[in-house]
Amino acid sequence: MSSRRIDITIPDLTGRRALLTGGSDGIGLALATRLTGAGAEVLLPVRDLGKGRRARAAILDEHPTGSVELLELDLASLSSVEALAGRLVERGDPLDMLVANAGVMTPPARRETEDGFELQFGTNHLGHFALIGRLLPLLRAGSARVVSQISVSANQGAVCWDDLQWERRYSAMHAYSSSKIAQGLFGLELDRRSRAGGWGIISDLAHPGVAPTSLLAARTATGRTRDGLDVRLIRLLSRLGLLVGTVDTASLPALLAATSTRTGGRMYGPSGPGHLGGAPAEQAPYSRVAIPADAARLWSVSEELTGVRFPA
């Protein structure tokens, strides 16, 4: 099937409020555009407000009657997470869905967040853990669906329990996999704890397969000064319609998860060879993210590191 013909039908989201991280470009922008087009009121927290304004303008160019609110958030700063969540909780508007999509990938050299965490673990996992924990009252009020955007890289490597911050032996790819496994463990554990505690939240995982996004491109935030061979190859394969997806098709698993009416604890991804591209479908969660004991251990560590406590 040509990637140009891959799409899904989503329901009318009029009156629903959706918060999406990482919505200023790539897969996140595609997601924000589709949610807006379906009638959702989209909250778009971004680190770079200039880039966010351009994204908002692009969304509203396509959907002039849409509702997109730009907010400031740096997931690599726990104080920024607390400030945004405090503002939204004070407003009191329930959230119907939250897509934890933002992320950083493979800085060539080890970098730290504002709070001293390894950048990938601190941004991809701890930042979202803190954000969801602080927004829990609004998520419960909206009986929200939460989608954690992981990666095919969560099907390899492991959480580096004895060196979570990669201070002793930094490996860019292994640290990335570890952060995405952590995000997946959290997403499934959130669903288990919600069911056990009666929080009313449904939590799923999604992964985009492989697509030509900016994650592997030259980026100031990661210290990558030029595009690597990997991203150039992905762009070529995507243009040719071979094996990998496009930015639009890669957004569909998370869109499917966010608008599903099924019970939680599921994972969605592309259904093509190696789950690298193709139409979105449910698939079995990766073994590394489906270990409840690891999830409970990570939850406890994450509460200690962030200072954000969920209900017992």
| Catalytically annotated residues | 176
> Radius of gyration over alpha carbons of the chain, in Å?
18
Task: Give 242's Cβ-side CA count (13 Å radius).
Answer: 7
From residue 201, alpha-carbon distances to 15, 60, 69, 204 in Å are 18, 30, 23, 10
Start-to-end C-alpha separation, the chain: 47
- Does residue 8 contact residue 38 with C-beta atoms inside 8 Å? no
Helix (H) or strand (E) holding 71: strand 67-72
154 strand-pairing partners = none
Tokens for 128, please give them. 């979202």
204 strand-pairing partners = 147
- Torsion from C-alpha of 277, 20, 256, 285, nearest 10 degrees: 70
Closest-CA residue to 196 (of 282, 296, 124): 296
- Does residue 55 contact residue 46 with C-beta atoms inside 8 Å? yes
- Does residue 160 contact residue 171 with C-beta atoms inside 8 Å? no
Tokens for 98, please give them. 């939250």
Q: How many helices (H) and strands (E) in the chain?
A: 11, 8
